[in-house]
Amino acid sequence: MTSSRRDFLQYAALGVLPMLWQGGAPQDTTKKPGGGVTPDRLGEPMLGGRLVDSTDKWDNDAGIIAIEQRLRCRCGCMLDVYTCRTTDFTCTYSPTMHREVIALVVAKKTPEQVIQAFIASDGEKVLMAPRASGFNIAGYIVPGVAVTVIGLVLAAYLSRRRTVAIAVGAGAVPGAPAPVSGPDQEQLDRLKRALDEVES
């Protein structure tokens, strides 16, 4: 990519013109590829991918965004429609889905009806998360229930063992001296470990 002096002067002139035209607004003057550009036009308009549509009032509408965040883009990117259309600008599916959502909202459909319309056309896989109904409830509750049940069983088991241990201790004849017995190996090992810990 080399530039001749003529190119250089051309670029310089084209760089100065828009500044004069727009009252000195800061402009970049390094439009190289393509050459011969008009002040406001890119040298290679398609270099950055497909041209995009102008933003309209729906693009930042909280209601539209909330609906789109519940819908998965058809392009297979794993993103929701809103994230895809504001992230992957090569995707042609998410702008289409965005327009479909707007059309339904303009037709006075509630968010739930919009979602239903997409499920009717695309199936349940269009949802970013399955509805918590029918078998899908298992998806939502199995981990929590599993952790809770195991936690409760564990707590009950540990408490019961402690209760049994206390009951065994209480089973001795009241007033009778506690049976004298030497420490068992486990207790001695524990004592030794405790002393080691103190030393360390």
Partner 1 sequence: MTLLGSFALWAAFLLGCWSAGLSFFGNWRENPATALAVRRGVYAVCAALLVATLSLWKGIFSHDFNIEYVWAYTSRNLPEYYLISAFWAGQKGSMLFWAVVLSIFAALAQALTSQRHKDLLPYVAGVTNLVVIFFVGVMLFAHHSNPFERMAVTPPDGNGLNPQLQNPGMVMHPPMLYLGYISITIPFAFGIAAMLAGKLDAGWIIAMRKWALASWIFLSVGITLGMWWAYVELGWGGVWAWDPVENASLHPWLVLTAFLHSVMIQEKRGMLKRWNMGLVVGAFLLSIFGTFITRSGVISSVHSFTQSDIGYYFLAFLLVSAILSFTLLYTRWPSLEAEVQLESLVSRESAFLFNNLALVGIAFSVLWGTLFPIVSEAVRGTKISVGPPFFNRVNVPLGLLLLFLTGVGPLIAWRKASMANLQRQFILPTAGFVLTAAVLLVAGLRSFYALMSLALAGFVMVTIVQEFQRGVRARMSMYQENIFLALVHLVERNRRRYGGYIVHVGIVIYFVAFTGLAFKTEKSVDLTPGETATIHSPFGYDYTLTARGVSQYVMLNRKVTAATLAVTRNGKRIGDIKSEKRQHMDSFGNDTFEPSTEVGIISDLREDLYVVYAGSIDGTERAHFTFHVNPMVSWFWIGGAILTLGGILAMWPGGPQVRTRRRRSAAQAGYSVPLAGVAE
- Assess 119 for contact with partner 1 (CB under 8 A): no
Of the ranges 102-110, 128-136, 169-177, which one interacts with partner 1 (CB under 8 A)?
128-136
Of the ranges 105-113, 145-153, 167-175, which one interacts with partner 1 (CB under 8 A)?
145-153
Q: How many CA atoms lie within 13 A of 153 on its CB side?
A: 6
> Tell me, what amino acid is at 43?
G
| Distance between CA atoms of residues 80 and 85, nearest Å | 9
Q: Which residues pair with 71 in a beta bridge?
A: 127
- Assess 86 for contact with partner 1 (CB under 8 A): yes
Of the ranges 72-80, 100-108, 110-118, 173-181, which one interacts with partner 1 (CB under 8 A)?
72-80
49 token code pair: 């991918």
| Distance between CA atoms of residues 196 and 168, nearest Å | 31
Q: In a 10 Å sphere around its CB, with 0-12 CB exposed, 13-18 middle and 19+ buried, how is residue 186 labelled?
A: exposed
Count the site residues for partner 1 by CB under 8 A.
84
| Distance between CA atoms of residues 16 and 190, nearest Å | 86
| Distance between CA atoms of residues 154 and 142, nearest Å | 18
Residue number with CB closer to partner 1 (175 or 184): 184
Of the ranges 105-113, 131-139, 171-179, which one interacts with partner 1 (CB under 8 A)?
131-139
Residue number with CB closer to partner 1 (86 or 109): 86
Q: Where in 87-116 is the site for partner 1 (CB under 8 A)? A: 87-90
Residue number with CB closer to partner 1 (9 or 158): 158
Residue number with CB closer to partner 1 (4 or 108): 4
